[in-house]
Amino acid sequence: MKSSVYLTSFLLCLLLNGNETCRPQIGTLLEGLLKFIQEGVKFSEEEPPDTKNLLREYDFIVVGAGSAGSVVANRLSEISDWNVLLIEAGRKENYIMDIPLPAHWWSLTDANWHYKTVPNGKSCLSLKHEQCLFHRGKVMGGSSTINFMASTRGNRRNYDHWRDLGNPGWGYDDVLPYFLKSEKITIPELANDTKYHSASGELTVSYAPYRTQLADAFVQGGSELGYNIIDYNGATQIGFSYLQSTTKPGTRMSASRAFLHPIRNRKNFHVTKGSLVTKILIDPITKIAFGVEFLRDDKKYVVRARKEVILSAGAINSPQLLMLSGIGPTEHLKELNIHLIKDLKVGYNFMDHPVLPTVTFLANANSFITLEVLTNVSGLEDYLLYHRGPFSVPGTAEGIAFINTTDPNNPNIDPNIEIFFLSACISSDPFFNTFLGYTEELYNTVYRPIENVHCYTPIPVVLQPKSRGRITLKSADPHEKPLIHHNFYENPEDLETHLQAIKFALNLGKTQAFQNLSAKLHNIPVPACSNLTFSSDDYWRCAAKQTAVSVWHYSGTCKMGNSSDPDAVVDPRLKVYGVKGLRVIDASIMPMIPAAHTNVPSIMVGEKGADLVKEDWGLIPLSG
């Protein structure tokens, strides 16, 4: 009953088949298993039900139940006179997804769109078919249901820059109240800072209730290098910290759980899941959006919108749907025989933060390794009964640091790199390499030899990428996945910044805090770079081109800008240029990617976007 095979199969059963199917497996393993299932059944009942009898017309149709869309649906349906329909292509959540530790598992299921990039011969070279895997949530809550739960906002300079690009109302002082509106901070030492934190919102933010020696070494090592231990969502972002996460201590707090579960009984709020929107309906003469077409259970539905259609489908799906509906670059749509409604730079300005998870250290520490945890009955029992222990840590992520390599001694500056600290590595768990997508050659050469060794990964991240990608259509068929041209390192400055981030991670490993744990850089080279001197600058440049991957921070493809910006798709009130009754409210509107994991900034965009809608329809006074 206590074998690793049993525990793993039990968790996978819950993941793939749901709560009820797995109930016969419980037996008498642990009292906690029954408690876990009971909570799971209750959890399923709390999710908004699928509305079978849809209305013909709603005031607002929101496409996408992700980080932004969940907020928009919540805030608009606060107005009892408005009927709101939320359309989600994916399925309902599974309670097993709320276990923080194996976060990377959920991307291996049908809760992910399973996007892959277009090979370009310049990056993702040691991934299968030279394609990076671009994970994207296809489930209630969107990517917030399958991500690593980091709660980061960016800093004042990020949003003041949005404002200065011609977007009034989007400066830091304008958006900070919306970060506060959502947040429910449960970290005692931060809760009293009411300027930068709030305890009254729906989105719980906490520290994990479990911490390893490696996590302590991370923040102590930062102190040795001269950096403060900080609240990176406070006055300054530069420094080291334990990870603030979107968790209700021990469990994931997805956008659906935070914003949709509490409104499941609103009479004016309907949800349709497993529903793929295929087209926005736009009058070609008046250029007014008046509804959507979507498919559910292979049946076509047409639903009209009295007031607005709002796209919150994310930086890949929102531009895809705009282009399928005739809004996009003239030449591209002409190639696909799509009738043009409005010529706009849809799909351009695609941004993401490239990360390098192959900077691996070996260590002797009282650290958790995912595979070991899955075979440890006491760890599972501790989680199932009390929501604590190693299973409560988000995807093995325990720490985060924000650094500016060009001015390292200035605490009041915009960081250009991040170190995202995992108390594990690619060989720690049989699903990690599948999640990342590296070739068998790379895994077998570099990571199989250390499968039973304790390890950690200080992941270097480029926060201000200058490279820009593009989303295009493969065809006019809405079932065809769009083409993702990510263009990592198209601008060579990004590669040099990544090199500086890597060097910072290497220096961190040399601090006394990590040397006390016998930290040692794993020195088996990436096969394609083995002709270069290991750990030289040229080696790391090569390793980055071979093994850098996405961190899911997709943004910018429906750029916000004023009427003089030739690249803008939406105006500062998030209305699509040239089409009435149509807005985009998600990360695709970001003109510049913030120095942050984009889940919480997307929720902020949802909060502010919903207020813009209310203002424009006279429900709240116009902001200054």
Cα-based distances in Å from 213 to 364, 399, 459, 594, 614 = 10, 12, 18, 30, 49
Q: In the structure encoding, which two tokens stand for residue 584, read together?
A: 């985009």
Round to whole Å and give the CA distance between 384 and 261.
22
User: Are the beta carbons of 76 and 613 closer than 8 angstroms?
Assistant: yes
Round to whole Å and give the CA distance between 62 and 292.
10
User: Are the beta carbons of 408 and 54 closer than 8 angstroms?
Assistant: no
Q: In the structure encoding, which two tokens stand for residue 227, read together?
A: 């950096």
Helix (H, G, I), strand (E, B) or coil at 599: helix
Q: Strand 133-134 to strand 183-185: parallel, antiparallel, or no bridges (unpaired)?
A: unpaired
- 303 is annotated as contributing to ligand binding: no
- 106 is annotated as contributing to ligand binding: no
User: Are the beta carbons of 317 and 90 closer than 8 angstroms?
Assistant: no
Q: Strand 57-63 to strand 299-311: parallel, antiparallel, or no bridges (unpaired)?
A: parallel
User: Are the beta carbons of 75 and 607 closer than 8 angstroms?
Assistant: yes
- 277 is annotated as contributing to ligand binding: yes
For residues 315, 320, 325, 330, the Cα torsion angle rounded to the nearest 10 degrees is 100
DSSP category for residue 259: I
Round to whole Å and give the CA distance between 352 and 468.
8
518-553 as b/e, with b when 16 or more CB fall inside 10 Å? ebeebeebbebbeebeeeeeebbbbbbbbbbbbbbb
- 139 is annotated as contributing to ligand binding: yes
Round to whole Å and give the CA distance between 93 and 357.
28
| Phi and psi torsions of 197, nearest 5° | -140, 160
311 DSSP β-pair partners: 63, 584
- C-alpha torsion sign, points 9, 10, 15, 21: positive
- Within 10 angstroms of residue 445's Cβ, the number of other Cβ atoms is 15
Round to whole Å and give the CA distance between 503 and 499.
6
Helix (H, G, I), strand (E, B) or coil at 370: helix
**Catalytic residue status for 597:** yes
Q: State the residue for tokens 């194996």.
A: 102
Q: Which residues have C-beta within 8 Å of that of residue 337, sequence separation ≥ 6? A: 476
101's enclosing H/E stretch is none
State which amino acid sits at residue 295.
L
Q: In the structure encoding, which two tokens stand for residue 365, read together?
A: 């520490």
Q: Exposed, middle or buried: residue 5 (CB in 10 Å: 0-12, 13-18, 19+)? A: exposed
Residue positions forming the annotated binding site? 139, 277, 552-553
The set of catalytic residues is: 553, 597
Residue positions forming the annotated binding site for FAD? 139, 277, 552-553
